[in-house]
Structure 1
């Protein structure tokens, strides 16, 4: 048996796979997100760690056969400080959605070009460097403690790894989301550490994604993979192959392209490590969308809709709009990188909740289209079929993306590809096969309407840049 823990923005899931790749057990525990003030989005790392431990214990109890290995996929750009000896957090974990460090980013704008070339990341409050600098300015005592080597600044993944194995580490795929990693050497960059005033001894050591991180708690099996959740999703879509592409829609969304053995910097997109082991590293070019499912949670609040009544896919199916809605609560990531702003309503009937929801859904599709166009232009190739996975890969959204891009979108019968990606790393003997029951979405032939909508979108989005 293989145990996979998939730790996401709003919940933690556990899966048991047998050696044929079949899921024989799964479980899930939700956790809270806190919004104490504007641009502040936090979670409790201890609550999440305890959920992981509970899920591991229940999975062990549910397994009829010994667990051979465990893998961990985790949300990526969520950061905290913790006590190195006690392995206890001393701050909340700042979510990847948190943008309180906007002022830090503004003050460092002159460094954005070389940072992008060095790290593959745009200068954004999304990532670890600005979050660190903001926290030590708000809590000056942290600076002295980290300089003495008493506390660690790292991702939620590295905290969970440390707590479960008693060994401190961060994997390549998530380390490449910090604004601190030299994407070419795959080591901590001295120039970046100097810019953000971070001592190297206050960071976890970097390890491959496929690596023996140590024994889990008091069990006999080991943690043999730690990886970013979106990277795992591409691997779950058969993304080990160079030039493969995939989309994954969860709380956020990502469009990922396996760029092979060398980093490929594409303006507006992110360059990260897709996967690594002791022998090689594989890179990924990625366009991230901050709000996918989280957009609809936000609309539930502002439109006063009960969660059980949202059902955004059904609301969008028979609703049309000539307008544009862009939510600004979490800003825009790829390819524009705009921090939080007031929501934009353009030619929208604000009294029609379904029209707002439809326009919100379309905003996700427009961003996907912009990312794909930027990607295909840079690599000079088109993709005959693009695979989509994740809980947000609903019919109305995928059909709209197909209409915009003019490309066929394939959705596998099993949408949760993140856990499958981790499993594929742990069990290299597994042979992935496409399923006959996968659903295809083909583009509309009404190109004039689509062309008009794209033109209108780009006029509105250009006002934000």
Structure 2
């Protein structure tokens, strides 16, 4: 009997394959880093073929290490970095250009022009999003105009667009062109209220409908893998964007529950139930998940730089050998030094949405050293999370209720960071036993679809707390530190950095 469930977790800096048992425990894990390239300031690209190769490598590795044949895998789920945009040739499967990563800001001028033309209210009303380079629509438009002949080929139906889930589905199945509702909701082309690609938005962005994939439920039939890839065909039965998958993995099925995932960026989602709530605080309204054609919505706040700030300490400044050193290093810093890092390396996300500012450090003195840099980097993630949750409280009708934040992702492993997060939020932070909630969430979707895992209510009861971090900072001290952070953000927003293209 096939009882194992496989999850492909394709992220911004790495690809993971995880194998889960029927009791949701982890039977195996394999991981491979993927390269990012930066052709110009604010530009971020991936090699789609490199991503595909990393998926093959990790899936084969995890099956081999766990000594589980593909025939014993009941279902496969895919979760992915969202918004990252790939266009490929339908006949050959070859990408026409490197993928434009969600962090890429090259379409800032196009977004500004569309705003000036008065299109943002339509985009927000239909999609719950704003006009920002973060989302896929302007990335698609840029590729169609930049790659010679691409627009004509797209209009003739020769090309296909997809976020990374669609790209992998195409390759895994040998030609299925599909996505799920959560990934479609991040393109700025999908009407999240009617659940369809929107013709008015396609006209605004100049995108041919023939490019687009079919949209399906998160838990459902996405075909099967080619038998030659892993030794047997594996049913693909779950797909969700990474943050929605983490919401499911954290069992946030009740309206009012909120989670934050700390990876390359940080993304906080608040379940708002069957009603899509328009944000007054420049948060995003999005689809949390779609089961049986019924959509559940969320408010989302997006921080572009979280774990990426630790990578910067390690790779850019050489202050760390390993990301795990950041917490102990930060703990040795003077807590009253007043150093603030605003890590707007690729602009500011929610609730500011300013793509043309760049990062800065405030409060430097002659004796500022590595410890202060580490503390400022980790605290910047906590401050940004505070601003997201404050915006959620303002938008959500029950926002004054007591909140517990469920935290996951790589940074959640740091006790120092989680305690600092609780201190600066003034709220309890719960860390689950299974921290790889993105992979867990999509594995649950796939396993639920084929009957390996129970209904959502039973899955929620199985969620287990590993540790709760309670706030210890006084209200006065918290307010003082938040005031310093907000003054730093205001100062940074007064500056602008030109978005430069490649040098000739």
Name the CA distance, whole Å, in 1 between partners of 2:75 and 2:315. Answer: 41
Deviation at 1:344, TM superposition (A): 2.0
Q: Which residue of 1 aligns with 2:497?
A: none
Written as runs of structure 1 = structure 2, the 5 A alignment for 1:269-284 is 269-284=283-298
1:347 matched to 2:363? The reply is yes
1:199 to 203, 208, 217: 208
User: 1:441 corresponds to which residue?
Assistant: 469
Q: How far off is 1:437 after superposition?
A: 6.2
Contact 1:180 1:193 in 2 (8 A): yes
| Structure 2: runs of 5 or more not aligned | 495-504
In structure 2, do the counterparts of structure 1 residues 213 and 345 end up closer, same or farther at CA, with 3 Å as the change threshold? same
Structure 1 residue aligned with 2:264: 251
Match of 2:139 in 1: 131
Pairing partner for 1:364 from 359, 381, 406: 381
Instruction: Name the stretch that deviates more: 89-98 or 379-388.
Output: 379-388
Q: 2:17–2:30: 8 Å Cα contact kept in structure 1? A: yes
Aligned alpha-carbon RMSD (Å) = 1.9
Match of 1:173 among 182, 187, 206: 182
Are 2:418 and 1:398 aligned?
yes
Report the alpha carbon displacement of residue 310 of structure 1 after superposing the two structures with TM.
Answer: 7.0
Question: Cα distance 1:445–1:460, how it changes in 2: closer, same or farther (>3 A)?
Answer: closer
Q: Does 1:422 align with 2:438?
A: no
Gaps of 5+ in 1: none
More relative contact order, 1 or 2 (CA 8 Å, 6+ apart):
2
Instruction: Check the 8 A contact 1:300/1:310 in 2, yes or no.
Output: no
**TM-score, normalised on structure 1?**
0.95
CA shift in 2, pair 1:121/1:363, >3 Å: same
Tell me if the contact between 1:12 and 1:30 (Cα under 8 Å) persists in the aligned partners. Answer: yes
Deviation at 1:462?
A: 2.9
Kindly indicate whether the alpha-carbon contact (under 8 Å) linking 2:261 and 2:407 is maintained by their aligned counterparts in 1: yes
Q: CA deviation at 1:333?
A: 0.9
Q: TM-score, normalised by structure 2?
A: 0.88
Which residue number corresponds to residue 407 of structure 2? 388
Query: Is the 1:60–1:67 Cα contact (8 Å) retained in structure 2?
Result: no
In structure 1, C-alpha distance between the alignment counterparts of 2:431 and 2:313, rounded to whole Å: 25
Residue of structure 2 aligned with 1:459, choices 487, 490, 493: 487
1 CA distance for matches of 2:263 and 2:154?
34
Counterparts of 2:320 and 2:55, CA distance in 1 = 29
Q: Distance in 2 between matches of 1:263 and 1:309?
A: 38
Give the secondary-structure state (helix, strand or coil) at the position aligned to 1:339: coil
Structure 1 stretch 60-69 or stretch 211-220: which is displaced more? Answer: 60-69
CA shift in 2, pair 1:303/1:156, >3 Å: same
* Residues 349, 355 of structure 1: 8 Å contact kept: no
The SS at the match of 2:282 is coil
Distance 1:317 1:49, change over 3 A: same
Q: Is contact 1:328-1:340 (8 Å) kept?
A: no
Instruction: Please say which of residues 291-300 and 424-433 is displaced more in the overlay.
Output: 424-433
3-state DSSP of counterpart to 2:380:
helix
